[in-house]
Structure 1
Amino acid sequence: MKNWKYIPTFFVIILSATIMNAQIKKGLDSRQQSLVKISALTAIGNLEDLQLQLNEGLDNGLTINEIKEELVQLYAYCGFPRSLNAINAFKTVVEDRKAKGIADSEGEKIITENNPPDKYEQGRKVLEVLTNTPQIKPAPGFGEFAPRIDAFLKEHLFADIFASDVLTHQQRELITIAALSSMKGVEPQLKSHIAMGRNTGITDDQLIVLATVVETIINK
């Protein structure tokens, strides 16, 4: 590996603890690697390389709606500007491929409505599944200090966004870990999502591959 100066410290610790396994038992398939590459490039705002990876993702079998869901989810982690720029780039890619006669799969329909009796409770339960830990209301610390952000986290991210099953929880965590590992100053959130990812079945071997892919992307 070239250098890890752009990879958050915690991720380096994770790698140091697992890199002893010289043989990777189960890495990431081509679709998973495409999700990781698209996420990392969106997070750092590299639209030129992103367009190449969006094309590759479709070639690797990702559906249009899977990539749309990925880019929508990423606004919660890297902001509306990065997400909107990536969505516009993807729109151009899809239109160009269609003009060339390439028939990409639209994929499963994206759920756009989510009206449970208690949206906060819906998000709280999803977070409990991801963390395998009871979630009290409000969240300790930041949730007590700023209840509105706790509500947005539960009701919008883990309820509205996660209500669509176009992506699995494991895919969503791969996307989130890839984005956070590409950004500086988010080590606490990265640590939490690595734990959540493991709870969805992501292995240390897969985390090593993910880190290697991200390192290549951001140090290119």
Structure 2
Amino acid sequence: MDRIEKSKEKYKQLFGNGMPAASATDPDFQDILSRFIFGEVFYQGNLNDKQRELITLVVLTTNQTLPQLKAHVVAALNVGLTPVEIKEAVYQCAPYIGFPKTLNAINEVNEVFKAKNIVLPIESKKTVDEDDRFEKGLSVQVKIFGEVIANMREIAPANQKHMQDYLSAFCFGDFYTREGLDLKTRELLTLCIVSSLGGAEGQVEAHVQGNENVGNDKETLITAITHCLPYMGFPRTLNALTCINEIIPEQE
């Protein structure tokens, strides 16, 4: 199939038989969009459609492009993602974009779930409590980043050590320890989230290394960032690719 046929087939798989609204008002633009996203990008690299839709959900959440997020929640269900997986992907955004934007996205997800008669709230996937969230979070943090975490905690000024505690207990304890998505998936989604943020190249590089540490290879990272391209544009995509090449150089 050529990319036109591929885009039609993929669009139908994701969204059904309906036509996008822009086809009536801006057909040239819609053709460019559909043929690039659904006829090219979706077929590049080694990720399956479930992984691609999870990436799409977190980038749209980060960008707060909520109408498109709502559409892709439907697509995510259509390719076989569970309500738990969808919710966990959106929850994973909170430490990086803040609670208000994450709640905006959760509201859109819930609207789709209600329309699909998916009972809310979905089952809890937390695995920590008040007594062990720090300890378990720190353990996951070390698994991802290694012993550098101990050094970060040691060199932090006394008036900033609470930030290190928050990273361990909140970011990694409250979110990374949850069931519903495995560690490799969460770390890959986090790379996509921070790549979608302007000026976060330091965090992008850190999470490139984290991804490599948990077993996501360079091909997977390049595919994930390529999949982000239609939703975050070339500048941030190219910045992320530069970070990947800095941490995992090309083999001669």
Normalised by the length of structure 2, the TM-score is: 0.68
Residue 194 of structure 1 aligns to a residue whose secondary structure is helix
Aligned residues: 191
Task: From the superposition, tell whether residues 163 and 143 of structure 1 become closer, same or farther in structure 2 (CA, over 3 Å).
Answer: farther
- Amino acid in structure 1 at the alignment position of 2:66: L
Match of 1:175 among 182, 186, 189: 189
* Aligned pair partner of 2:50 in 24, 31, 55: 31
Aligned residue identity for 2:72 = Q
Counterpart check, 1:79 vs 2:92 = no
Task: Return closer, same or farther for 1:75/1:131 CA change in 2, 3 Å cut-off.
Answer: same
- Kindly indicate which of the two structures has a greater share of residues assigned to helix: 2
Letter in 1 for 2:186: R
Larger radius of gyration: 2
| Greater shift in the superposed pair: 57-66 or 38-47 | 57-66
Q: CA deviation at 1:144?
A: 4.7
- 1:181, CA displacement in angstroms? 1.0
1:112-150 CA-partner distances (Å, limit 9, x unpaired): 462375543322211111113353276255565511111
Q: Which runs of 4+ in 1 moved over 6 A?
A: none
TM alignment of 1:16-95, pairs within 5 A: 27-95=46-114
Matched, 1:197 2:211: yes
Query: Map of 1:133-212 to 2, 5 A cutoff?
Result: 133=147, 135-136=149-150, 139-142=153-156, 144-212=158-226
Structure number with the bigger relative contact order (C-alpha 8 A, sep ≥ 6) is 1
Q: Say if 1:30 and 1:60, in contact at 8 Å, map to a contact too.
A: yes
For residues 30 and 95 of structure 1, the distance between their equivalents in structure 2, rounded to whole angstroms, comes to 24
In 2, the alpha carbon distance for the partners of 1:74 and 1:93 equals 19
Q: Distance in 2 between matches of 1:194 and 1:144?
A: 29
- The corresponding residue for 1:16 is none
User: Which stretch has the larger CA shift, 170-179 or 25-34?
Assistant: 25-34
Aligned 8 A contact 1:65 1:166 in 2: yes
Identity %: 26
SS at match of 2:153: coil
The alignment yields a C-alpha RMSD, in angstroms, of 2.6
Distance 1:114 1:25 in 2: 38
Structure 1: stretches of 5+ with no match in the other structure: 1-23, 99-103
TM (norm. structure 1) is 0.77
- Displacement of 1:92: 0.7
* Distance verdict in 2 for CA 1:143–1:123, change over 3 Å: farther
Instruction: Tell me if the contact between 2:52 and 2:227 (Cα under 8 Å) persists in the aligned partners.
Output: yes
Q: Give, in whole Å, the separation in 1 of the partners of 2:148 and 2:196.
A: 29
Contact 1:143 1:149 in 2 (8 A): no
